[in-house]
Amino acid sequence: QVQLVESGGGLVQAGDSLRLSCAASGRTFSSYAMGWFRQAPGKEREFVAAISYTGLGTDYADSVKGRFTISRDNARNTVYLQMNSLKAEDRAVYYCAASKYALSSRPTGDFASWGQGTQVTVSS
């Protein structure tokens, strides 16, 4: 079992940047992929980005491609989501998740553990 704790959320203006962090403990961090998801009020949880166990493979939702960057530091057991050029529609609770697998994927069912979420609010 993996325990995940997100941090870095907050209130920003449109066009600003934020970096989310997610610290993991439990299973060997370098053995599984990680993902970021988000859930806006009244909407279903959606995939944002994922990164493979080595960090060499990444995947992004079209809505964030070119603005968000996922990365990981296996020495620190931490995954990051750098969010640039934030838009009002990026407002959501952001969750990090630990995959059951080594390579990145999108389905929520591929992820075994979830953090508690961190709120990101973007004012326009």
> Which pair of tokens denotes residue 113?
């553990």
pLDDT attached to residue 124 = 86
Give yes or no for a contact between 118 and 9, defined as CB atoms under 8 angstroms apart: yes
DSSP percent split of the chain into helix, strand, coil, nearest 5: 5, 50, 45
Please report which confidence band the pLDDT of residue 2 belongs to, taking 50, 70 and 90 as the band edges.
very high
The count of other CB atoms within 10 Å of the CB of residue 4 is 21
Residues in contact with 99: Cβ distance below 8 Å, sequence separation at least 6, in sequence order: 32, 33, 34, 35, 50, 105, 110, 111, 112
Please report which confidence band the pLDDT of residue 122 belongs to, taking 50, 70 and 90 as the band edges.
very high
Please state, in angstroms and rounded to a whole number, the distance separating the CA atoms of residues 6 and 114: 10
Q: What percent of the chain has pLDDT over 90?
A: 98
Q: Is the pLDDT of residue 105 over 90?
A: yes
Q: What distances in angstroms separate CA 110 from CA 21, 22, 24, 104, one per listed residue?
A: 21, 18, 17, 9
Q: Is the pLDDT of residue 19 over 90?
A: yes
Give yes or no for a contact between 87 and 26, defined as CB atoms under 8 angstroms apart: no
Q: What's the half-sphere exposure (Cβ side, CA atoms, 13 Å) at 29?
A: 16
